[in-house]
Structure 1
């Protein structure tokens, strides 16, 4: 029997997925617990529409991520830090500071939890960080630490 899963079912499939299971498993377990619905023509049509909407949403999101990547890679960020006489900075540069610099210099709001600094930043100079947008999309961003 073919059913459309409403929720993720372990060892079977994810939400909005068409799967084939034995009749008893579908009728006695999946359908009564509202984990699946029978794959009738109308339900299949609804599934197809949901998949189209999800695909369109995903394409729109990927286009937006590509545009943001392009803006971020255009010029390196400049992050000001208080320094001593030897060029060492007080403290270090954090993802929060990089997120604020992106907001001020590029005009985009990026969550600090998505920003990962690749090297420890303790001196003035150029460094790299990685921004993970999710869905396998990420960008390596150059930033420069300058004295305030």
Structure 2
């Protein structure tokens, strides 16, 4: 079965990739969950649109990724969040919150899907967050969560 991926599937491909999979896997898993659509000539236009959008937001070269990593390394990011007594947050810090905090601190525009939060951030204080900029380059952001 020939499918077009609409989301990243580990071990299979990125959005916009045309892949050949077994019929049962495509029909029972990928298509019902919205991870892929059936390939047709008309759907090929969708593939082109998905790839164009991915190329626009992706960091293309290793050199660009290293420049962004340097910017992020020298950045002081402070995220204000509501907290109760004892320094515990109401909820947790999300990748979207981190992207907004980096942008507010004068940093580059990041894709929230590239941010890796190993353990949920639920307390005030200093935390380290990893950003995958390129397959070979990742940066660490020093994030300080402060009470709002």
> What TM-score results when the alignment is normalised by the length of structure 2?
0.56
Trace 1:64-103 onto structure 2 (pairs within 5 A): 64-103=64-103
Tell me the residue number matched to 2:131: 131
Is the CA contact 2:72–2:140 (under 8 Å) kept in the aligned structure 1? no
Q: CA shift at 1:117, angstroms? A: 1.1
Is the CA contact 2:72–2:107 (under 8 Å) kept in the aligned structure 1? no
Is the CA contact 2:62–2:134 (under 8 Å) kept in the aligned structure 1? no
For the residue of structure 2 that corresponds to 1:89, the secondary structure is: strand
Structure 1 unaligned spans of 5+:
1-59
Q: What root-mean-square deviation, in Å, do the aligned CA atoms of Structure 1 and Structure 2 show? A: 2.2
Structure with higher Rg: it is 1
Q: CA shift at 1:128, angstroms? A: 1.1
Q: CA shift at 1:102, angstroms? A: 1.2
Moved runs in structure 1, 4+ residues, more than 6 A?
A: none
Further displaced range: 89-98 or 79-88: 79-88
> What TM-score results when the alignment is normalised by the length of structure 1?
0.56
**Greater strand fraction, Structure 1 or Structure 2:** 2
Q: CA shift at 1:118, angstroms? A: 2.3
**Offset from partner CA, 1:63-100 (integer Å, 9 cap, x none):** 22111111111133111100112211100001110011
Q: Distance between the aligned counterparts of 1:116 and 1:80, measured in 2?
A: 19
Structure 2 unaligned spans of 5+:
1-59
Q: CA shift at 1:134, angstroms? A: 2.4
**Greater helix fraction, Structure 1 or Structure 2:** 1
The structure whose RCO (Cα within 8 Å, separation 6+) is larger is 2
Q: Distance between the aligned counterparts of 1:118 and 1:76, measured in 2?
A: 20
Instruction: Say if 2:140 is the partner of 1:147.
Output: no
